[in-house]
């Protein structure tokens, strides 16, 4: 087993490194930390992978982070094949040229969102590991209670990845009334007995805080064997690395090997762009990674100031409700992983000391609502990252202008945030790839706002038949009256009992 196949926490911990299986099934590290590989593997010659398909690239990348002792080559190939056979696009994540830049379409999975790329794989991983652990058992089987929070797309993608799977129950918390109607229907119309939806009267950060608290509750976690599907789970990040390699090689076919590529990523929880960071560190020649935020701009403010803060001085902590709701957050959970690498390289003499820095910074953030990193940490980060903030008005105007200039091409509002940020930065020296994270029909209000006056536009043409069918299906959802951990615990145990689970 290589170092890249062993995992440690971002926060100070005396625990030994974990295997890939233990990392995936535990999800969140003790004390609220996130798991990361002990070492990022370096690909000696990335050009050797240039002719490979998406599935073949996934196999090469995953093999660097998963020991053959844990998953054999044949088993891994079958997991990958099964995970991506559900996608509508032959190339899984096609690259499309749009108005002077490229759009990487990540929404061709079963729930029409980029989260499918990871969560189809994660769902199959859970099933694979549990089947192996339960093989030959005649008594009590090992089970997993998966708990996740969503601002929209994670929930449905996780549900579609785990619905009907043996020995897994899934609970998804979403903020009541703060996800799009289609996103809500995609979650709440799944009536498999192992799927449970909680609509919490609060915001996404409330939901995410509850999930983190559940994982930190040793007694509850041990009792119910909690598993994570949010991007706090390392397997989510791992699966997303593939489309950076795949899109780069697709670009090289048309632009040539000397192309200097910048990726622009509409970002809320920082998981999608963090996968690009891993790809870059593995050797993919990415010139820069650009964070694109909406008015919930904690990341943009950080890259411009070095202060990671929930709200600027004098402004009350709050979440703006925007046209791109999946990015409506206060804290970007995965940013902790990047801060660990920057601390390790710029400040610390060891991995443990880097964890101590992260522990200190995260405590300070929780206590004071802000933390300032040393200047050399910020400077090192800016060598690899940039950032932009895009308003709702710019989002709408971008959807409209791209529709006009690109022969009726329709962006969803999150993808429009990325494209708007890209268009600000276009120059002759670089080629921009902007990640398109969801199908536009998932956000009909924003799309209609931008395009309703267009002569050729009809939202009915944008809407897939699968979405139209959702409106006719029965719903299954439990409303949680306030973001209270005890209410959620009670609701989880009530529904597990109704599912026939003994604990």
pLDDT tens by residue, 355-375: 999 999 999 999 999 999 999
Number of Cβ within a 10 Å radius of residue 129? 21
CA atoms within 13 A on the CB side of 112: 20
Quick one: pLDDT at residue 170?
Answer: 97
How many angstroms separate the Cα of 54 from the Cα of each of 50, 90, 123?
Answer: 11, 9, 19
pTM: 0.94
Number of Cβ within a 10 Å radius of residue 188? 23
What are the b/e assignments for 40-49, b being 16+ CB within 10 Å?
A: bbebeebeeb
Cβ contact 415:436 at 8 Å? yes
Give ∠ CA 88-91-92 in degrees, rounded to 5.
50
> Would you list the DSSP string of 321-377?
--S-GGG--S--TTHHHHHHHHHHHHT-SSHHHHHHHHHHHHHHHHHHSEEE--HHH
Active-site annotation holder among 115, 165, 212, 442: 115
Cβ burial of 102 (10 Å; 0-12, 13-18, 19+) is buried
Cβ contact 260:287 at 8 Å? yes
Cβ contact 230:236 at 8 Å? yes
pLDDT tens by residue, 137-164: 877 889 999 999 998 788 999 999 999 9
Quick one: pLDDT at residue 231?
Answer: 84
Number of Cβ within a 10 Å radius of residue 367? 9
- Backbone Cα Rg of the chain: 21
Cβ contact 50:252 at 8 Å? yes
Number of Cβ within a 10 Å radius of residue 486? 7
- Quick one: tokens of 383? 């060598």
Residue 453 DSSP code: T
Beta bridge partners of 97: 102
- CA distance linking residue 333 with residue 414, whole number of Å: 18
Block residue for tokens 């289609």: 182
What are the b/e assignments for 255-294, b being 16+ CB within 10 Å?
A: eeeeeebbbbbbbbbbbbbbbbbbbbebbbebbbbbbbbb
Print pLDDT tens along the chain (503 aa): 899 999 999 998 778 899 999 999 988 888 889 999 999 999 999 999 999 999 999 999 999 999 999 999 999 999 999 999 999 999 999 999 998 999 999 999 999 999 999 999 999 999 999 999 999 887 788 999 999 999 878 899 999 999 999 999 999 999 999 998 999 999 999 999 999 999 999 998 899 899 989 988 989 999 999 998 888 899 999 999 999 999 999 999 999 999 999 999 999 899 999 999 999 999 999 999 999 999 999 999 999 999 999 998 889 999 999 999 889 998 998 999 999 999 999 999 999 999 999 999 999 999 999 999 999 999 999 999 999 999 999 999 999 999 999 999 999 999 999 999 999 999 999 999 999 999 999 999 999 999 999 988 999 999 999 999 998 999 999 999 999 999 999 999 999 999 988 88
> Would you list the DSSP string of 215-284?
HH-HHHHHHHTEEE-STTSHHHHHHHHHHHHHHHHHHHHHH-TT--EEEEEE-SSSHHHHHHHHHHHHT-
- Quick one: tokens of 145? 């209670």
Q: Is 115 a residue of the active site?
A: yes
Give ∠ CA 376-382-387 in degrees, rounded to 5.
140
Q: Which domains occur in the chain, in start order?
A: 235-451 (3.40.50.1100)
Cβ burial of 413 (10 Å; 0-12, 13-18, 19+) is buried
């Amino acid at each position: 087993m290589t170092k890249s196949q062993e995992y440690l926490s971002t926060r100070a911990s005396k625990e030994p490194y974990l295997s890939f299986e233990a990392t995936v099934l535990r999800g969140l590290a003790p004390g609220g930390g996130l798991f990361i590989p002990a070492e990022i593997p370096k690909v000696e010659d990335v050009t050797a992978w240039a002719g490979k398909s998406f599935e073949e690239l996934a196999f090469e990348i995953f093999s660097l982070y998963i020991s053959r002792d844990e998953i054999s080559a044949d088993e891994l190939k079958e997991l990958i094949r099964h995970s991506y056979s559900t996608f509508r696009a032959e190339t899984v994540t096609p690259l499309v040229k749009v108005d002077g830049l490229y759009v990487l379409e990540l929404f061709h999975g079963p729930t029409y969102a980029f989260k499918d790329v990871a969560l189809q794989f994660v769902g199959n991983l859970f099933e694979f590991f549990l089947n192996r652990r339960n093989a030959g058992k005649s008594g009590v089987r090992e089970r997993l209670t998966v708990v996740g929070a969503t601002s929209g797309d994670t929930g449905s993608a996780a549900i579609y990845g785990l619905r009907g799977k043996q020995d897994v129950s899934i609970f998804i918390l979403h903020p009541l009334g703060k996800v799009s109607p289609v996103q809500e229907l995609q979650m709440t119309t799944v009536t498999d007995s192992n799927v449970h939806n909680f609509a919490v009267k609060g915001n996404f950060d409330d939901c995410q805080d509850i999930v983190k608290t559940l994982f930190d509750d040793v007694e509850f976690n041990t009792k119910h064997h909690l598993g994570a599907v949010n991007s706090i789970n390392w397997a989510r990040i791992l699966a997303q690395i593939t489309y950076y390699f795949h899109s780069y090689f697709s670009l090289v076919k048309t632009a040539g090997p000397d192309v200097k590529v910048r990726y622009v990523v509409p970002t809320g929880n920082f998981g999608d762009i963090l996968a690009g960071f891993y790809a870059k560190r593995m050797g993919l020649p990415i010139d820069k990674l650009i964070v694109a935020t909406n008015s919930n701009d904690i990341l943009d403010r950080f890259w411009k100031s070095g202060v990671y803060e929930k709200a600027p001085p004098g402004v009350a902590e709050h979440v703006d409700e925007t046209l791109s709701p999946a990015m409506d957050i206060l804290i970007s959970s995965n940013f902790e992983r990047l801060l660990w690498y920057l601390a390790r390289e710029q400040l610390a003499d060891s991995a443990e000391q880097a964890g101590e820095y992260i522990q200190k910074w995260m405590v300070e953030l929780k206590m004071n609502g802000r933390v300032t990193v040393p200047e050399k940490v910020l400077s090192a980060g800016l060598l690899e990252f940039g950032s932009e903030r895009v308003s709702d008005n710019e989002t709408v105007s971008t959807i409209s202008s791209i529709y006009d200039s690109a022969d009726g091409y329709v962006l969803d509002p999150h993808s429009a945030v990325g494209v708007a940020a890209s268009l600000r930065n276009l120059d002759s020296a670089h080629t921009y790839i902007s990640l398109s994270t969801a199908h536009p029909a998932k956000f009909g209000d924003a799309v209609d706002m931008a395009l309703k006056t267009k002569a050729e536009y009809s939202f009915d043409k944008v809407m897939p038949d699968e979405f139209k069918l959702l409106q006719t299906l029965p719903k299954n959802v439990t409303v949680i009256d306030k973001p209270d951990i005890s209410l959620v615990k009670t609701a989880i145990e009530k529904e597990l009992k109704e599912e026939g689970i003994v604990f």
